[in-house]
Amino acid sequence: MSPVDVRPVRSRSDLMRFIRLPWSIYRNSPQWVPPLIFERKQFLSRKKNPFFEHGDAELFVAWRGHKPVGRISAQIDRDFNAHQGHDWGIFGFFECEDDHEAAGALLAAAEAWLRERGRGKVVGPFDFTMNDEAGVLIDGFERKPMVKQPWQHPYYQDLLEGAGMSKAIDLYMWELQVDKRSDVAPMIWKVAEAAEQQHGVKLRKMRKRDLKEEVHHFVDVYNAAWEDNWGFTPMRVDEFEHTAREMKPLLSEDWLMICEKDGEVIAAALTVPDFNQAFERANGRLLPLGGIKLLRKLPRIDQVRVGFLGVKPEYQHTGVAALLYREHFDMAEKTPQVGGEMGWILETNDPMNRAMEGMGGKIAKRYRVYEKDLRPGE
């Protein structure tokens, strides 16, 4: 067997190998959903992805002879470190054949790059931040991933732990069938009604025609609601605006929710149809036939992903979260989407996890974030 050689991505052809590698790793895995290649190219572009305004990254590919067998990124997020008050580095985009030597060499390359830049710990995988795809799947392999969720082989956990990584925290995806009101604890409906009648909270839908203004509202709620969470990275308005602008043709106003009290936006929910149901038919390309297959599937998407649902801390006593939950059930009665998944939610977020149980949810997938000290013994 040829030795493993890990090389940084330096050319366009290197970048395409980095992007295309998962097709060989998952060629016999029906659960895996191929990303759109043009979207991955833009996401990894230093000129087009706003991440690079506050971060830096290096991409690596592992080779055995002439064959690429794995990939990884090493990155530093200055916003993340400034908010958290530490000197961590991050790894991401980890994909590898069932090859401990290759996995170890990839992680060693990422660790060396981060150590050279003064990082004391490495965490991940995040692509590029926890606001993007995060974690390694450790439970729920039988289920297809929803939009912006990774799916990995079961052996990935063994590869990372065999290379010295240990658990930092787990992330939960909760399955909810929001057409089954009978499964919901009655208290949810009472609290939602109280939010309206006693606290004067009003729910409305985000307006795509006012996307720029709505992005400001959402980012304001997001940064207030999640700032104390493990691994939180403040979201920049221009960063989310970039994402929202790209997704605008696919977003549905039915599922984009804002709550206001006395004219102030106090809560928001960003829920999207599970576009992965359409993307898997395109096999990474929109041409020549991928776009047609995607468009045919879009009206028949029957699931949603609740990606973000948050309330400003000073208004969490008003029951506004229950009002957002109720609206999801209302929308399920009016749209083709009758259920889906909510998350990720930190395993330590007891209030949200209890709320999911109260609505009849069950944990569908678990993702694990890993960590490793880069200066052991100091």
pLDDT digits (tens, 9 = 90+) for 64-104: 999 999 999 999 999 999 999 999 999 999 999 999 999 99
pLDDT at 189 over 80: yes
CA distance 245 to 214: 12
Return the pLDDT at 378.
Answer: 59
* Number of C-beta neighbours around residue 361 at 10 A: 23
Rounded to an integer, the average pLDDT of 125-133 is 92
CA distance 284 to 286: 7
CA distance 263 to 246: 29
- Closest-CA residue to 279 (of 15, 46, 40): 40
Return the pLDDT at 242.
Answer: 85
- Would you say 374 and 114 are in contact if contact means Cβ atoms under 8 Å apart? yes
* Number of C-beta neighbours around residue 215 at 10 A: 21
Q: Is the pTM of this model over 0.75?
A: yes
- Give the residue carrying structure tokens 């931040």: 129
Alpha carbon 123 to chain centroid, angstroms: 15
pLDDT digits (tens, 9 = 90+) for 281-325: 777 776 554 555 565 666 788 899 988 899 999 999 999 999 999
Q: 3-state DSSP call for residue 352?
A: helix
pLDDT digits (tens, 9 = 90+) for 324-358: 999 998 998 888 888 899 989 999 999 899 989 98
Least confident of 143-147, 177-181, 267-271, 293-297: 293-297
Please give the single-letter amino acid code of residue 148.
Answer: K
Q: What domains can be seen in the chain, in order of their start residue?
A: 4-172 (3.40.630.30), 178-360 (3.40.630.30)
Q: Which two tokens stand for residue 58?
A: 């290096």
Tell me the pLDDT of the chain averaged across its residues. 91
